[in-house]
Amino acid sequence: MKDTAEPRAIRVAVGLARYRAGRYLVGGLFWIAWWSLPALVGLVLKAAFDAISGDAPAGLDAGSLIGVLLAVEAARLGIFFAAFPLWARWWAAGQALLRTNLLRSQVSSGGNGAGAPVRSAGAAIAVFRDDAEDFVKFVDSWVDLAGAVVFAIFALVVMVRIDAVLALVVGLPLVIVFAVTRALADRVRRTRRADREATARVTGFLGDVFSAVLAVKVAGAEERTVARLRQLNAARGRTALHDRVLADSLDAASGSTVDVGIGVVLLLAAGSMRAGEFTVGDLALFASYVSWLAGLPRIAGLVLTRHRHAEVAARRMAAMLPRNDETEAVVPRRLRLGAPVVIAERPRPHRPAPADVRLSGFGVRHAGGGGIRGVDLHLPAGSFTVVCGTVGGGKTTLLRGLLGLAGPAEGTVRWDGAVVDDLAAHMVPPNCAYVPQAPRLFSATLRQNLLLGRAAAPGEVGSALHTAAFDADVAAMTDGLETVIGPRGVRLSGGQLQRAAAARALVADAALLVLDDLSSALDAATEQRLWSRLLAPRPGAGSPPTVLVVSHRAAALAHADQVVVVEDGRVRAIGTLAALRADGIDPLGRAAAG
């Protein structure tokens, strides 16, 4: 695949035009007709003014010609009202297709449909909102350009037949404006990219501020937060100003060709009119055509400008799509726009037996260096394994690598003896459930956060809450499971947030449970209850799952079937807690969160 932005933009634009192609073609023909009818208006004006001035041959009188002119304008008005609703539906469908494919790439857990995670919420918002709209605008402008070209060809043929020299002079400013627009294309692209990046920084910062209001208040950082926002807004204001000034300057330059063209017609036609070689009707036709011909460089310049904007959008969208392939944004899908949204519960999958997982020569390397490598580790079915080690040693990287969340992995992972080819696609419920270091919850009810649209068997949620040592907390809440917990669980304490995330993972009833520093915010008594309940057989749930935990807490290590010590990106030791201590290795002394 080529790395240049221009082919990227064209490929996406062509794919977008092909989506709902019938609607695009029919609507496009309507707009081309709307752009072309002024050619007939010019001919009618010529005939009418010639009839009034006495230069016209016998035929329709001036009154009849004015009636024809009104009929043509009425036809244009009818075409507009017929085309607009059709075009609006194509416009909405095009944006919906781009945004749907972008969203699917981000929520996919693996396989061919998974895209690279977004860098920040602000960047994602800018791509979904602005870049998708830029592409639809680019494809939309093709129709206007086609209509302007059809009109220009017809008008120039008519004008050349009347006065070839005057027609050539009238067309010269149009060529100049087109050349200037083309020369500034790279600058247009740079200013648009800078504006999009500055907008992403503002939206991302706003998202961070709203999700960390309490932290800002506790730190007394309100004024500094507002000052930082003003700083980002000022930078965005400058980039937006440069982008808008450049775009409007090009549009104004192309629009000025109307005045230049009319002035040229008046200057050069005066002598011909005195000689009787140029009629009043000819002058009316030229003046009419010049005003419409000015639309050609304006639209051509607009298409070029939007092309540069689309190139920026293509690069930004490709970074979020599978295989960095921008054409994934226009994969055709059936979209039911306007249909009522029905959220159906997902059927409950069959729970597999506890997993037997074996890593051989496993490793993950970060793009900036570091990572973990050479891991040989066996997680027997139903076992409880604790990973500990120094800060930055690679504990979390090991877990995320196993889940397919930390980039390309090396070595092999076997699941019940079979090699797993796509970790990200495989390590999802009901195979695997994961609780990260910083769990994320939605601003919804506690029940909705636990189930995430999944169907639940009677008593299953209560069982998960009990196992996560969260049942007493929920019982103390006024609304119980219907309590709205706020953005990112802001109404819960740190320990409640961890246990709510643990309950969500337990509801998934997976064969492998992966927990990253789950009990760091719990007191000793609650932590002891959590581990005891987690590893005990649950009524009606069969054998406990295989559990892999990163922890530096004594309560977790005390329950471990095996302890894995990770330092400097390598596994330094594996064994039971007693065996490691017998070898002079103290996991508690080495362990740390990180």
- As a whole number of angstroms, the distance between CA 456 and CA 513 comes to 19
What does the block give as tokens for 571?
A: 């596994």
User: What is the rounded end-to-end Cα distance, in angstroms, of the chain?
Assistant: 39
Q: Are 424 and 111 in contact (CB under 8 A)?
A: yes
**Tens-digit pLDDT string for the chain (594 aa):** 344 556 788 989 999 999 989 999 999 999 999 888 888 888 877 777 777 766 655 455 556 667 777 777 788 888 888 888 888 889 999 999 999 999 988 888 777 778 877 777 777 888 888 889 999 999 999 999 999 889 888 888 887 888 777 777 766 766 776 677 667 767 877 887 888 888 888 887 887 787 677 677 777 888 888 888 899 999 989 998 888 888 777 767 666 665 666 666 666 666 666 666 677 777 778 777 777 776 677 787 778 878 888 888 888 899 889 888 888 889 888 887 777 766 666 666 666 788 999 999 999 987 767 789 999 999 999 999 999 988 888 899 999 999 988 877 899 999 999 999 889 889 988 899 999 988 888 888 999 889 888 777 778 889 899 999 999 999 999 888 999 887 667 778 888 899 999 999 998 889 999 999 888 878 888 888 888 888 877 655 567 889 999 988 888 888 899 999 999 889 999 999 888 888 888 777 654 433
- The pLDDT of residue 349: 62
Domains of the chain listed by start with CATH number:
5-330 (1.20.1560.10), 357-590 (3.40.50.300)
Residue 427 phi, psi dihedral angles, 5° rounding: -85, 60
- Residue 515 is predicted with a pLDDT of 94
| Interstrand relation of 546-550 and 562-567 (parallel, antiparallel or unpaired) | unpaired
How far from the centroid of its chain's Cα atoms is residue 248's Cα? 27
What's residue 546's pLDDT? 93
The predicted pLDDT at position 198 comes to 87
**Could you tell me if 519 and 502 are in contact, meaning their C-beta atoms sit under 8 angstroms apart?**
no
**Residue-level pLDDT at 220:** 81
Q: How much is the CA Rg of the chain, to the nearest whole Å?
A: 34
What is the C-alpha to C-alpha distance for residues 248 and 199, in angstroms, rounded to an integer? 20
Q: What is the largest CA-CA distance in the chain?
A: 118
The count of C-alpha atoms lying within 13 angstroms of the C-alpha of 99, restricted to the half-sphere facing its C-beta, is: 19
Are the C-beta atoms of residues 260 and 173 closer than 8 Å to each other? yes
Q: Where are the alpha helices (H) located in 108-131, listed in sequence order?
A: 121-126
In angstroms, the CA 380 to CA 544 distance is 12
- How many whole angstroms separate alpha carbon 90 and alpha carbon 88? 5
Lookup result for tokens 């920040």 = 120
For the whole model, what pTM was predicted? 0.72
* Cβ(568)–Cβ(533) below 8 Å: no
433 neighbors 514 (Cβ within 8 angstroms): yes
Q: Are 487 and 209 in contact (CB under 8 A)?
A: no
Asked if residues 350 and 227 have their Cβ atoms less than 8 Å apart, the reply is no
pLDDT for 495 equals: 87
The whole-angstrom separation of Cα 27 and Cα 146 is 12
**Cα(400)–Cα(514) distance, rounded to whole angstroms?**
9
